[in-house]
Amino acid sequence: MIEAQDVSLQYPDGTVALKPFSLFIGGGELIYVTGPSGSGKTSLLQLLLGMVAPSSGLLSVLNQPMSGARGADIRKLRRKVGPVFQEFRLTAGRSACENVMAGIRFLRPASGSLRQEALEALERVGLSHKAASPIEHLSWGERQRVAIARAIARKSELILADEPTGTLDKENALIILSLLISLRDEKTTVLITTHATHLLEPARASGVIRMDSGRLDMSRGGDGR
């Protein structure tokens, strides 16, 4: 699923975002990524999404080697990945259902089932009753659930959630975390970056990656199924 061997990331201005690390994450695992702001959490997700290339080492994501990967390779990889951004990246003026449909329309030929798939994903996150509501009429917690519904509808093999609870109150944050955790039941691998370590349940995770100043320290334990 994800395999890294002596991987590092240095930006063109000389900033070392990620110091050499090695790790292996298998299919269907739930991994928390924790650490203070500036520790490299977002850089790690950008690396896994192919937004940046590793500066050294060998990295493979969903069997796609990332060193030297070309545009077509990255696009193929991203079809299998469901990113969940803290800022949602939803389109104003469109309904919740339309936003979910937009996230999957380019993945497969247009068909009458596209809307049904979107509606089923919204039902999964408890928002079927808001399917026709414009995004700007939804609360922050509801918008985050729409973003997760979009990832669900993509039938992603890997979900990368970057601080999905960062702008939410405790009640909504727990709802979002529970939704993301439930996705592993479909053999989806889920990585969640968060500052909210007090909300995490390590026993439900396969492992925790703790980051500090670009260093990764991964511990195994909890539910390592």
> What is the tens place of the pLDDT at every residue in 145-188?
899 899 888 888 999 999 888 777 888 888 888 888 888 777 88
- The string of pLDDT tens digits covering residues 117-126 is 999 999 989 9
User: Nearest-CA neighbor of 25 among 54, 55, 2?
Assistant: 2
CATH level 2 (architecture), domain 1-80+156-225: 3-Layer(aba) Sandwich (3.40)
What's the whole-number mean pLDDT along residues 62-70?
90
Q: What pLDDT is stored for residue 111 in this prediction?
A: 57
Ramachandran quadrant class, 89 (left: phi over 0; alpha: psi -120 to 50; beta: rest):
left
Average pLDDT for the chain: 88
Residue spans per domain, the chain: 1-80+156-225, 88-155
| Residue 109 confidence (pLDDT) | 58
Predicted confidence (pLDDT) at residue 106 exceeds the cutoff of 80: no
When pLDDT is cut at 50, 70 and 90, the band that residue 110 belongs to is: low
Q: What is the band of 225 on the pLDDT scale with cuts at 50, 70, 90?
A: very low
And the tokens for 122?
């919204």
Whether the predicted pLDDT of 224 surpasses 70: no
87 contacts 138 by C-beta, under 8 angstroms: no
Residue 4 near residue 59, CB atoms below 8 Å: yes
Q: Which of 9-13, 36-40, 204-208 has the highest mean pLDDT?
A: 9-13
Give the C-alpha separation, 178 to 60, whole Å. 28
Q: State the pTM of this model.
A: 0.87
Res 112: pLDDT? 62
